[in-house]
Chains A and B, each alone.
Chain A
């Protein structure tokens, strides 16, 4: 699985959009980009994933560059409850051991009132 690089921390004002970047320059053509978050002391929570196209769901939007070497997770209107560590994970599409998630240290997003 390709390695990802994320900034260790970011701040965002409440109500504003939070844009979390992720670099995955060694991504393979069949690898998905996943985003999870972990609110303090809780289990990780799935947010969104994508392969090539931009994706949007009720929680966030995922923008993947055309060369797929980087992506941005967008929380359109951040709230205090969005304060968490956000993990960007690249993963191959097969089952078994390659179905595992490789977590780095993520980005700590602090939403300020």
Chain B
């Protein structure tokens, strides 16, 4: 199993541009998550999904959109990028329930200038 994969690894955007961060998992997990991590801080939840066709906001959803058309994929869309969105973005997946651990991808480092 590849686990959770994310593309791209790095990206530089200009203010106002848009992009999609890709996330794919091959573990047949129902739950998927997007987190962001600012320098020296812990991770904050942006959006999550409990299954295909179902998504919901986390702590910091503003400026982002998600979709979940398949179990495997959970892309994160940034519209009108702003410098405040400069961060490292992590995708994660898990089985349902708190007794199951989350598996994280390697992250996408995004800089908005």
Contact = CB atoms under 8 A, between A and B. Distances in A.
Interface of A: 32, 34, 41-46, 49, 87, 91-106
A103 B104 CA distance: 14
A103 B97 contact: no
Contacts of B45: 100-101
B42 A104 contact: yes
B42 A96 contact: no
Interface of B: 4, 31, 33, 35, 40-45, 48, 50, 56, 58, 90, 92, 94, 96-99, 101-107
Given A95-B98, A103-B43, 12 more contacts: A43-B104, A44-B102, A95-B31, A95-B50, A96-B50, A97-B56, A99-B31, A99-B48, A99-B96, A101-B45, A104-B42, A105-B40
Given A91-B98, A92-B98, A96-B50, A44 B90 contact: yes
A44 B105 CA distance: 8
A45 B104 CA distance: 7
A97 B48 contact: yes
A2 to B, nearest CB: 13
B44 A103 contact: yes
10 contacts: A43-B104, A43-B106, A94-B98, A95-B50, A95-B96, A95-B97, A95-B98, A96-B56, A100-B58, A106-B42
A99 B96 CA distance: 8
A103 B43 CA distance: 5
Contacts of B31: 95, 99
Contacts of B104: 43-45
Contacts of B33: 100
A49 B104 CA distance: 16
